[in-house]
Amino acid sequence: YWELEKMWRKLDAEERQQYAKKRCPDPISSKFSPEYKFGVINEQLNEVTQSYLKNRKDNIYSEYTEKEKFTEIINAKYLQSMADPGEPVGLLAAQSIGEPSTQMTLNTFHFAGRGDMNVTLGIPRLREILMTASAKLKTPSMDIPFRTELSNLNKKAERLRQKMNRVTVSDVLEKIDIHSEIITNPNRQLQTTMRFSFLPYNQYKTQYTVKPNQIIKHMENTFFNEM
């Protein structure tokens, strides 16, 4: 340690600068925009392109595989792949996730923009049926046949379906208004008022059997007590 310190003290300012901690330079995309400077691509793509040009086989040749032409094509494809300002990338991503071919490669099945029950489908469902053959399925289902001689069968079956549907507060809630204010009388404290607004009954009566008075009763006796 002392020898290193002695050697360090013998160095002049220019020599010490060589051992100083240097900051990693920013990528070229931080200085120039790809939209205005053609050829500005990210470092990883540039590294992959240069590695391919260096290690490719000599027998692969066409007018598009020349170094300059190939580099121009890669730069054009990179520019084409960029999202335009204002493009709804969230909607496009949700639409892509909802594609059946995409769903078959995922561990969980997802319905884009739907609130249905999450069930095991796709590859995990096939693995569960064919390979696992478990007696306790993660998402069990049952087909219930009805007696055909019953009157108003469709109406009664629909009524049973409504009764079996699980209902949460969020299913019938329209919005929550929260108002906070500081009061000083008698003591200084923060008072918060929450106003729950529920959906009209005609908007959920075909899905659930719950009534507005039952919702209010549940909020007063159960929901607010658990908050």
User: Would 2 be classed as within a structural domain?
Assistant: no
User: Would 108 be classed as within a structural domain?
Assistant: yes
Residue 153, CA atoms < 13 Å, CB-side half-sphere: 7
Query: Last residue of a domain, which of 47, 80, 113?
Result: 80
Q: Tell me how many domains the chain contains.
A: 3
Strands (E), the chain: 173-183, 189-198
Give me the pLDDT at residue 196, please: 92
User: Would 5 be classed as within a structural domain?
Assistant: no
Q: Are residue 217 and residue 172 in the same domain, yes or no?
A: yes
Q: Are residue 160 and residue 127 in the same domain, yes or no?
A: no
Q: Are residue 160 and residue 222 in the same domain, yes or no?
A: yes
Indicate the helix (H) or strand (E) that contains 216: helix 212-218
pLDDT (tens place) for every residue of the chain, 227 residues total: 678 788 888 888 888 887 777 777 888 888 888 888 888 898 899 999 999 888 887 766 666 678 888 889 999 999 888 887 788 888 888 777 766 666 666 666 655 555 555 556 666 666 666 666 666 666 667 777 888 888 888 888 888 888 888 888 888 999 999 998 888 878 888 888 999 999 999 888 888 888 999 999 988 888 888 77
User: Would 8 be classed as within a structural domain?
Assistant: no
Give me the pLDDT at residue 131, please: 65
| Residue range of the domain that includes 123 | 97-132
User: Would 180 be classed as within a structural domain?
Assistant: yes
Give me the pLDDT at residue 125, please: 64
Q: Are residue 167 and residue 205 in the same domain, yes or no?
A: yes
Work out the number of other CB atoms within 10 angstroms of the CB of residue 95.
Answer: 13
Q: Are residue 53 and residue 101 in the same domain, yes or no?
A: no
User: Would 151 be classed as within a structural domain?
Assistant: no
